[in-house]
């Protein structure tokens, strides 16, 4: 296994970024999977040919980005998409009184199709590439509030079936991680006002063309690799889009 030679001190400020990139490469290759401990700092420092200080700076940054998680006395682990820790990092629709709740998700439709030009550009794949496309409706406090259309590249989610998607026992991003080894570590979102389609209006209890909040999202795995394209339409009569979230500070 190759190692890297420690740079002179003058260049040490960028050395840890190379180590961080190497760790991300190992994660992308599923060398360590979600919930598993990564090797000790000493072993990783030896592997990459760097000082403990340089290695620790790279690990600190990955922990700050919620890619790794430190558990005091146990070590450092690959972050898992679990309800209690990660869900509200990516789910940002909150009732106006501030009450957060987990949505009840129902699969509306599922199909294999070809990526349009716009979708292909978002997912960084060729136009016409095979993709999976499905629609979910999400109920909050016993009322459907969100309708979302999601597109996944078939090459990254080979073998995905409607039954597996409908019967998954956990959150969607946890499902990606458990079933396909894909860990969503970040998203880019654009928010705008749109009009409900006929289907969306029916599911949301709104008139066709009624105003809704549109949230366009690209979800990324390691090295900013796009793995999901999603457009959500939200009935904002009683709900807000909240972009901030509290990061844990205790390493738990």
Q: Quick: pLDDT tens for 31-58.
A: 888 788 888 888 898 888 889 889 989 8
With bands split at pLDDT 50, 70 and 90, how would you rate the model's confidence at 91?
A: confident
With bands split at pLDDT 50, 70 and 90, how would you rate the model's confidence at 86?
A: low
pTM of the entire predicted model: 0.77
Domain boundary among 59, 78, 97: 78
For residues 67 and 161, membership in a common domain is answered with no
pLDDT for residue 15 is more than 50: yes
Domain-located, residue 248: no
pLDDT for residue 251 is more than 70: no
For residues 47 and 145, membership in a common domain is answered with no
What is the residue range of 113's domain? 87-241
Give me the pLDDT at residue 27, please.
Answer: 83
What's the CATH number where 116 sits?
3.40.1410.10
SS (H, E, C) the chain: CCCCCCCCHHHHHHHHHHHHHHHHHHHHCCCCCCCCECCCHHHHHHHHCCCHHHHHHHHHHHHHCCCEEEECCCEEEECCCCCCCCHHHHCCEEECCCCCCCCEEEEEEEEEEECCHHHHHHHCCCCCCEEEEEEEEEEECCEEEEEEEEEEECCCCCCCCHHHHHCCCCCHHHHHHHHHCCCCCEEEEEEEEEECCHHHHHHHCCCCCCEEEEEEEEEEEHHHEEEEEEEEEECCCCEEECCCCCCCCCCC
Mean pLDDT score, 154-171: 94
Tell me what the pLDDT averaged over the chain comes to.
87
Give me the pLDDT at residue 85, please.
Answer: 53
For residues 134 and 14, membership in a common domain is answered with no
With bands split at pLDDT 50, 70 and 90, how would you rate the model's confidence at 111?
A: very high
Mean pLDDT score, 150-160: 97
Q: Quick: pLDDT tens for 194-248.
A: 999 999 999 999 999 999 999 999 999 998 999 999 999 999 999 999 986 444 4
Give me the pLDDT at residue 13, please.
Answer: 63
Domain boundary among 24, 49, 78: 78
For residues 114 and 200, membership in a common domain is answered with yes
What's the CATH number where 45 sits?
1.10.10.10
Higher-pLDDT residue of 77 and 138 is 138
């Amino acid at each position: 296994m190759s190692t890297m030679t420690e740079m002179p001190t003058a260049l040490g400020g960028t050395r840890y970024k190379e180590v961080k990139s190497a760790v991300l490469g190992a994660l992308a290759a599923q060398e360590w999977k979600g919930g598993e401990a990564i090797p000790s700092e000493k072993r990783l420092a030896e592997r990459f040919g760097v000082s403990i200080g340089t290695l620790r700076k790279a690990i600190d940054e990955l922990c700050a980005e919620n890619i790794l998680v430190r558990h005091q006395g146990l070590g450092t682990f690959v972050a898992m998409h679990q309800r209690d820790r990660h869900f509200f990092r990516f789910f940002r629709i909150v009732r106006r009184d501030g009450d957060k709740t987990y949505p009840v998700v129902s699969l509306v439709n599922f199909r294999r199709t070809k990526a349009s030009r716009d979708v292909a550009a978002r997912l960084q794949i060729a136009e016409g590439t095979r993709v999976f496309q499905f629609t979910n409706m999400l109920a909050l406090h016993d009322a459907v509030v969100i309708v979302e259309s999601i597109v996944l590249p078939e090459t990254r989610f080979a073998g995905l079936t409607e039954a597996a998607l409908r019967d998954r026992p956990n959150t969607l991003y946890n499902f990606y991680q458990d079933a396909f080894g894909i860990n969503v570590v970040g998203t880019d979102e654009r928010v705008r006002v749109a009009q409900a389609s006929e289907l969306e209006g029916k599911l949301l209890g709104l008139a066709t063309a009624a105003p809704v909040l549109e949230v366009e999202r690209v979800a990324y795995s390691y090295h900013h690799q796009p793995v999901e394209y999603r457009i959500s339409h939200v009935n904002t009569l009683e709900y807000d889009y909240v972009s901030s979230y509290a990061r844990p500070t205790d390493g738990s």
